[in-house]
Amino acid sequence: MLETTQVSPDFKEMFLVQVGQNNTACEDRSAMALNELYTGWKLTTLPEEATLQEKLAILVAGAKTLALRSFLATQITANQGSTGTLLQESVEIYLYYETAFALPLRLLSFIRSTRYAEGMGKRPWIDIEELTGAVNSTYLDHLVDLRAFQKIAEANPLFVEERKSLNIGFNERENLLLDKYSIPEMYAEEIEKLGKEKAFAEKQLLKKWFIQNYQC
């Protein structure tokens, strides 16, 4: 893990932040920090000798882990808003659910047991079915944002050709807008909307490639 900080600026930044904030905190806070570091490290260092399916399996596990954390963040924020109470140790909530669902959801987590989270982390306002449903229905959104996944797709000639066609189509639409309006202020909003539409289309293309190629 330390070696990766020498070759990956993004992971190095994550590593230094986590170590700086959590190395003197309680055991469970340090454990959750280790989970986050482990996930980032595994997503940054895919084994070169691994098969496509093995690499995709690691990325899926990482994406599901990120989806779980995102769901919990939303639930915690909603609860704090409805009750007006700030949760002082929300890390126990993250650690409890990530530990409890590491195996059932095949998460990319390191910690398998905790000191306090089992008693302090479980919350009645977090619905288990909603949690598992959210992870399974949203992990693709996190997957296509992973640079490691994008690089794998970009190494596939068929994906490259499809994306090339997509870019040509959007470039033509952008040129039509530029021809239609005479000053930048008049087409800035349309260009922005077109850019968002293109970004969405690119993500849909990545999802399509994944579904066609991943053998779970």
Query: Does 117 lie in the same domain as 38?
Result: yes
Specify the residue for token string 């190494």.
155
Q: What is the pTM of this model?
A: 0.84
Hey, what amino acid is at 69? Answer: R
151 in any annotated domain: no
How many Å apart are CA 166 and CA 84, to the nearest integer? 47
194 in any annotated domain: yes
- In tens, the pLDDT along 35-55 reads 888 998 899 889 999 999 999
Find the domain containing 202 and state its range.
Answer: 156-213
Q: 76: closest CA among 97, 47, 59?
A: 97
Q: Residue 206 is encoded by which pair of tokens?
A: 């990545």
149 in any annotated domain: no
Query: Does 135 lie in the same domain as 166?
Result: no
Asked if 58 and 143 count as a contact pair (C-beta separation under 8 A), the reply is no
- In tens, the pLDDT along 90-138 reads 888 999 999 999 999 999 998 877 665 566 789 999 999 999 999 999 9
How many Å apart are CA 213 and CA 207, to the nearest integer? 10
Asked if 26 and 121 count as a contact pair (C-beta separation under 8 A), the reply is no
109 in any annotated domain: yes
Query: Does 122 lie in the same domain as 18?
Result: yes
How many Å apart are CA 90 and CA 9, to the nearest integer? 28
Query: Does 195 lie in the same domain as 106?
Result: no
Helix axes 157-180, 184-213, angle to 10 degrees: 160
Query: Does 24 lie in the same domain as 106?
Result: yes
Query: Does 77 lie in the same domain as 9?
Result: yes
Query: Does 7 lie in the same domain as 73?
Result: yes
What pLDDT does 20 receive? 46
Domain count along the chain = 2
Q: Residue 115 is encoded by which pair of tokens?
A: 């000191």
205 in any annotated domain: yes
Query: Does 85 lie in the same domain as 131?
Result: yes
